[in-house]
Structure 1
Amino acid sequence: MAIRKRAWTAPDGSEKTAWLVDYKDQAGKRRAKQFARKKDAEAWRVGAAWQVSQGVHTADSQSVTVAAAADLWIKKAEAEGRERGTIAQYGQLARKHIVPFLGAEKLSRLTRPAIEAYRDELIATRSKAMAGKAVRALSSILTEAQRRGLVAQNVASGVKVIRQARERAKITIPDKTELKAILDAASDDLRPMLLTAILTGLRSSELRGLRWSDIDLKRGRLSVNQRADKFGEIGPPKSGAGYRTIPIGQALVKELTAWKLRCPKGPEGLAFPNTEGGVQQYGHLLRRKFLPLQVKAGVCDPVIEDGKPKLDKKSLPTMQARYGFHALRHAAASAWIKQKIDLKRLQVWIGHESIQLTLDTYGHLITDASGDAAIIAASQAELLA
């Protein structure tokens, strides 16, 4: 790579100079990059020479900005038919957590130290969970750009946001008294769905997409073959592990048999539709039904503002629901674990892609005091015999 001085006369008649680095990239194509100062040209030449030798150099003229690459990433997801919720999440990550920091930067100018600094700034201004999502999204953007030939390497690969186990949100599980209170307070039309959630561990999207054809009341089992996203669109489960069959007991069979007779009919044959037989909207289910139901059932806590309970117009404490809908899924898993379900079966019934995810989520619930005592006694006898 050679550095040479370039001089020319500007339109206003002034004399201009610059330093030009002439070089060939890894494909043998001649390229040039201009700098105002010689020392900047020399510093860039050193890095570029190493990149060319490693086959990871991308000329600025071949590159695009991070913002443009993010748009291409989102458009690819749209072309592949990804769910609207997923595409919306991609857009939000790019718009709020990537472009404000790196949007104007060309991919060819990104470096590993720059990505590490970006990660540190995210951690300082966002939760670790959100910072991790943004860093992973950036890595996916660069992977797609690399596939398109817009950059030769993914400098975000390997950059991670490490979360300690103590920093991860602990799952909250309603106890039996709370579950009974919720079911007792539920309307006749809502109770079947809640009971199904509690006894099968289905996600809210799976419940809203469940069809009567997926429920075998005679054999006592139901299958998950589709789901409804937050926009109410029916589609396949998010992963292969989402397809599964779960046995159901007589209490749920009896509840569903009675509900089927009065369930609103619709073209999709949904088991838990809205009043017109269509897909229930998740926001409506949560905000208009499940959360107010908990307050009605007394499964709630006061809203705290400035260290004091917030009061309503009647000077009474404003109450808020204690659990999200996902807590019912945790209740099912917890009940199965208490019955000493094996890990593989728990993974299948709950619909996790890996047994590691199941362990990370529910491992702290898996205890066996009597079994532990037996193991300790046997090992002690073996070692001290």
Structure 2
Amino acid sequence: MTVSRIVNADGSISYRARVKSGRSVVASKTFRRKGDADTWHDSQKRALSLGEFVDPRAGMESVGSALERWAQARAGTVASKTLDTEKHALKHVPTALRNRPLSAVRATDLEALYTQMMRTLNRSTVIRFRQVISPFFSWAVAQKLIAKNPAIESKVPRGTGQDTKREIFPYTVEELRAVHADLLSHTSRENADIALVLGLTGIRWGELAALRVRDVQELPYPALRISRSKPDGQPVRTVTKGGKPRTVPLMGDVATIVLNAIKGKAPDALVFASATGSARSGNNWKRDAHWKANARGRRVHDLRHTAASLWLINRVDIKTVQTWLGHSSAKLTMDLYGHYMGNDADTAAVARMNAVLAQPGDAGGTLEKLSTGAER
């Protein structure tokens, strides 16, 4: 029998449901009512036949213990930078939650944690935390520790949180060339040219550090094939942050800089190697180029923002800019840089007002004509 009647020592009756796979009992649970025992038994048998069965004892493992096993399983399968990001994010899992059994965690528990985190963190940080914790619970499902992923059903509450988002601070073309000139007076031409390459191609530092001669194409037009990255202190990654290779055109004098840099080099040689031929360190480059003294308050990453804003200001369409930057969607590009896109009506209105305000003579009379409609 799969559901048996039991007479307890005090004379009360209970019912024990046992789930079998072949001749082996894989789960057992006792109920006070036979109907409850039958319902539980049937649901477990159905899960067993569908391959969805989870041993109730497996879910008793603590969240903290399972997190450690998950982290060990991830090592060697994902980039070291990703592991560092996950490790940092998981510091937000409180001790009380770490000590709870996996099977006891519900979506509401995670939502309570999100709310608590947003008292001190930006909402985007909390969303990234959810994006880290969800694969962990998916792993637990795959390991038959729990039946479903509670993070999938959880939602990050609305709000902005407390920390300040870093402002985008791009250069104008004139400012970028002025910074390039200042760097030339303090460092080598190659060091100075790197700033111009970053500012006019929009590639990330790690992508520039990993750039090989074979990644430079000359036909049908000069361009870079971005498929690798070398973050500081980490091995070369054979995938970029965006997850897909992309082609970035080389325009103007940047094409000349890059094509000159690869002359006489082997296909696997680095385009912008260090003095020893190895990949450049971003921190070392900033030191050698005297970046802080000459950057006019910008970060190196603002060079990427510079390229994006220059493209959009000069009416390169948003989908093309998304592709050149390696963003996952045009929406991401629009959210970051949409305010640099002007339309024809804006341009015409600004040109008209500039023309009016630039007229010599009585500015008051000009404004009066505009307000009365005497001049159209």
TM range (shorter): 0.7 to 0.9
The letter of the residue matching 1:92 is: H
1:31 aligns with 2:28: yes
What CA deviation, in whole Å up to 9, does each residue of 1:254-292 have, x standing for no partner? 33344456x9x7995111222211012334345x356x4
Change (3 A) 1:86 1:168: same
Indicate the SS of the match to 2:225: strand
Q: Is the 8 A contact 2:225 2:245 kept in 1?
A: yes
Indicate the SS of the match to 1:237: coil
Indicate the SS of the match to 1:152: coil
Change (3 A) 1:355 1:7: farther
Q: Give the aligned partner of residue 157 of structure 1.
A: 152
Indicate the SS of the match to 1:227: coil
CA apart distance, 1:180: 2.8
Q: Give the aligned partner of residue 382 of structure 1.
A: none
Indicate the SS of the match to 2:190: coil
1:92 aligns with 2:88: yes
Q: Give the aligned partner of residue 326 of structure 2.
A: 351
1:210 aligns with 2:211: yes
Structure showing greater Rg:
2
CA apart distance, 1:209: 0.6
Give the distance between the partners of 1:282 and 1:24, measured in 2 at CA: 62
Q: Percent identity?
A: 21
Structure 2: runs of 5+ lacking an equivalent: 350-376
Q: Is the 8 A contact 1:192 1:256 kept in 2?
A: no
State how 1:49-128 maps to structure 2 within 5 Å: 60-63=56-59, 64-80=61-77, 82-94=78-90, 96-98=91-93, 100-128=95-123
Q: Is the 8 A contact 1:22 1:30 kept in 2?
A: no
Give the distance between the partners of 2:58 and 2:328, measured in 1 at CA: 39
Structure 1: runs of 5+ lacking an equivalent: 9-18, 35-40, 300-321, 375-385
State how 1:139-178 maps to structure 2 within 5 Å: 139-162=134-157, 169-178=166-175
State how 1:1-385 maps to structure 2 within 5 Å: 22-23=16-17, 29-32=26-29, 60-63=56-59, 64-80=61-77, 82-94=78-90, 96-98=91-93, 100-162=95-157, 169-186=166-183, 187=187, 188-216=189-217, 219-238=221-240, 242-260=244-262, 268-286=268-286, 288-289=287-288, 292-294=290-292, 296-297=293-294, 299=296, 322-370=297-345
TM-score, normalised with respect to structure 1 = 0.71
Indicate the SS of the match to 2:152: coil
Change (3 A) 1:100 1:325: farther
CA-atom RMSD in angstroms? 3.9
TM-score, normalised with respect to structure 2 = 0.72
Indicate the SS of the match to 1:246: strand
The letter of the residue matching 1:238 is: T
Q: Is the 8 A contact 1:66 1:102 kept in 2?
A: yes
Give the distance between the partners of 2:72 and 2:241, measured in 1 at CA: 21
Give the distance between the partners of 2:295 and 2:208, measured in 1 at CA: 25
Give the distance between the partners of 1:199 and 1:254, measured in 2 at CA: 13
Q: Is the 8 A contact 1:197 1:329 kept in 2?
A: yes
Give the distance between the partners of 1:145 and 1:20, measured in 2 at CA: 32
Indicate the SS of the match to 1:124: coil
Indicate the SS of the match to 1:329: helix
Number of residue pairs aligned between Structure 1 and Structure 2? 326
The letter of the residue matching 1:68 is: S
Q: Is the 8 A contact 2:198 2:204 kept in 1?
A: yes
Indicate the SS of the match to 1:234: coil
Change (3 A) 1:29 1:255: closer
CA apart distance, 1:323: 2.4
CA apart distance, 1:360: 2.0
CA apart distance, 1:185: 2.0
Q: Is the 8 A contact 2:227 2:240 kept in 1?
A: no
CA apart distance, 1:147: 0.8
Give the distance between the partners of 1:326 and 1:51, measured in 2 at CA: 58
What CA deviation, in whole Å up to 9, does each residue of 1:92-148 have, x standing for no partner? 222x11253521111111122222212222222433333222222221110111011
The letter of the residue matching 2:214 is: S
Change (3 A) 1:144 1:159: same
Give the distance between the partners of 1:57 and 1:193, measured in 2 at CA: 57
Q: Is the 8 A contact 1:241 1:352 kept in 2?
A: no
Change (3 A) 1:216 1:137: closer
